[in-house]
Every structure is written in C-alpha cells, then in structure tokens.
Amino acid sequence: MKINNQNDKMYLIVDTTAIIHFSSIEENLAINEFLLLPEGLKEEIKSHKAQTIFQLIEGSEKTIFDTPSNDALSEIRIKASESGDLDSLSITDIQVIALALDYPNSVILSDDNAIQNLCAFLQIPVKSQFFKIKSKRQYFWKCNVCNTKFEAKRTNCTECGSPLKRYYVKFR
C-alpha cells in the first residue's frame, strides 16, 4: 500500500445537486478519497436541509476547498459555449467542472443535466445518483418564422426579430 503517495489521491468534486442527493458522502470515503469543493459553493446552498448537510461536509477533515485556475475556467467557458450549455451553468457549476481540469485524478458527483452534458463532451468522469443523461446534446437556437439557426444563445432572431427556441442534436 502506498497511501501516502500524492498520485494515489482521488478527488470527488461535489456540485450543489450532489450535496442534497448523495447521502453521507463524507462518511463513505475510501482512505485515498477526498471531497473537493469550489470556494463559491457555499453561497449556492439555499435550503435549510442542504445547509445542514453542507455543514457536515464542510466540517470533515477529508474536505478540501479550492478555486480553479483561470486557464481551466476560460477553457470550460469556451467548451460550454460550443456545446450550448453555458447559459444553463451557474458560476459554481463552471468552477466544479474547471476543478476537474486542475485535478486530473478526479470524478465529479452531479445530477445536473448541463454539467453531465458538458463533461460528456470533455470526457470528464461523472457519478450520478438519481439523474443521468442518456446522450450528449449539442444545443442550438432556431427561429421558427424564417428558420435561421444560431449556435450561441440569442433571445431574438437577427433576421426577422422573432423569439428563438432552443433545440439540440444528439450524439452517442
């Protein structure tokens, strides 16, 4: 056993849905597993129930708080814009995925649709509890009046001004 070897450490990156959906994660960690949370996560915890769970996780000696690097954050924003997930991700969600780039030996715990979708494109491992996406989706926006398509999110069509709707193409 080489449990003191840094390389053997495994980081479970926790998002807001995982705080509520995964029960007692801080109690069920293997000896080399650590919980990794972005600094900003605390502000997203709203309900009393979630706050109670968060305090248990926060108090665990196996919990690490970190801020992702600017390089990782900008890469995630670019990729999220490409997949069409950017507007569905909170600042904390982006931090969660960016941490996975900074900590290669990690897995994200999340039941969030947009996080899972973007991670599927980036080949970042995700463990889910109650919700798992069935396929990758590349989102786009389309005008139903003049049929113009837009890769990035817009509210109104640049050609005719009509409101746009979001669609997607499925990937395996």
Q: Which residues of this chain interact with Zn ion, rule CB under 5 A?
A: 143, 145-146, 148, 157, 159-160, 162
Report in angstroms how near the CB of residue 159 gets to Zn ion at its nearest. Answer: 4
Closest CA to 68 of 46, 45, 43, 37: 37
Query: Residue 93: phi, psi to the nearest 5?
Result: -60, -45
Report in angstroms how near the CB of residue 140 gets to Zn ion at its nearest. Answer: 14
Question: Closer CB to Zn ion, residue 78 or residue 160?
Answer: 160
Report in angstroms how near the CB of residue 145 gets to Zn ion at its nearest. Answer: 5
Question: Closer CB to Zn ion, residue 69 or residue 144?
Answer: 144
Question: Closer CB to Zn ion, residue 146 or residue 152?
Answer: 146
What order do you get walking across the sheet with 136-143 strand by strand?
A: 149-150, 136-143, 164-171
- Sequence letter at residue 159: E
Query: Residue 99: phi, psi to the nearest 5?
Result: -60, -35
Question: Closer CB to Zn ion, residue 78 or residue 145?
Answer: 145
Report in angstroms how near the CB of residue 157 gets to Zn ion at its nearest. Answer: 3
Query: Residue 63: phi, psi to the nearest 5?
Result: -100, 130
Question: Closer CB to Zn ion, residue 27 or residue 159?
Answer: 159
Give CA separation, 158 vs 44, 70, 139, 143, in Å.
35, 33, 18, 9
Tokens 């989102």 appear where?
A: 139
| Token reading at 88 | 């569905």
| Token reading at 172 | 């395996």
Report in angstroms how near the CB of residue 151 gets to Zn ion at its nearest. Answer: 15
